[in-house]
Amino acid sequence: MTKILFFDATNSWILAGCYLKTEDGKLEKVSEYRELHNRESSLLLIKEISHCLKVSNWEKPDIIVTTTGPGSFTGIRISVATARNFSQIWNVPVLGIDSLELYTCQYYAESESSVCVGIEAKQGKIYFGLRDSRGYWGTLDIAPDLIPETIPEDRIGSYLTGIKFSDSPEFFAGTNMKENLPSPEASLLEKSGDIKKALSKPEDHSYLHLVPNYLRGTYADDKPKVYYT
């Protein structure tokens, strides 16, 4: 069996849990935490991870899986830094997953229909992801009214007829994600091959290889660069 520690603090919730991947390919939830915690991840993430490990009676996992963004700049930094630190301390591989890819995977498994996820991203935009029977299409940083003209023609039907999920329904209409928080279980099953590769070649999935997916540059990117001699 493979012991998987998962956590996500990239958006306005904390997801954490310990999962066992059995030899026959099934996933068993050992412990789990899912709650809204906007701007509290720096205080609560490690606490909830520690609690999940204690409940599971694990000293350490075999692999860490975490979301890397997009989402809150601070939340992404906390998720990635926490995963890096634990990976280094425990000497276990770490696998990063696009946040919207993970969210759409769970909602698609639950609804058995094409799904879209929109995360409010300020500046009049959302982080947008689409999944249908062909899999995950991709992640955009986009104004909602530009989505139809950006999605390729062969996927526009999935967008128009699919179920939409949103963390800010007043800005991007859809089922409120805060009333049905995502879960990692479907994505952990989907990523079984990647998890297996990471375990077989841990040197390719060390903490040094985990990078944040900010998607959008920070305000500092727009400032003129100053070089010192």
The larger pLDDT score, comparing residue 226 to residue 91, is at 91
- Closest to 114 (Cα-Cα) out of 92, 128, 130, 103: 130
What pLDDT score does 215 carry? 87
Give the up-direction half-sphere exposure of residue 226: CA atoms within 13 A in the CB hemisphere. Answer: 3
Q: What is the pLDDT of residues 119-171, one digit of tens each?
A: 999 999 999 999 999 999 999 999 999 999 999 999 999 999 999 999 999 99
How large a percentage of the chain has pLDDT more than 90?
89
Q: What is the pLDDT of residues 23-39, one digit of tens each?
A: 888 999 999 999 998 77
Look up residue 61 and give its two tokens.
Answer: 């996992």
pLDDT above 90 for 68: yes
**Sequential DSSP letters for 148-195:** HHHS-GGGHHHHHHSEEEES-TTTS-SEEGGGS---SHHHHHHTHHHH
Report the distance separating Cα 120 and Cα 99, nearest Å: 13
pLDDT above 60 for 179: yes
User: Phi and psi for 62 in degrees, rounded to 5?
Assistant: -85, -25
- Closest to 104 (Cα-Cα) out of 125, 124, 133: 133
What pLDDT score does 219 carry? 41
Look up residue 75 and give its two tokens.
Answer: 């939340």
Tell me the average pLDDT of the chain.
93
Report the distance separating Cα 173 and Cα 164, nearest Å: 7
User: Phi and psi for 56 in degrees, rounded to 5?
Assistant: -80, -10
Q: Are 4 and 186 in contact (CB under 8 A)?
A: no
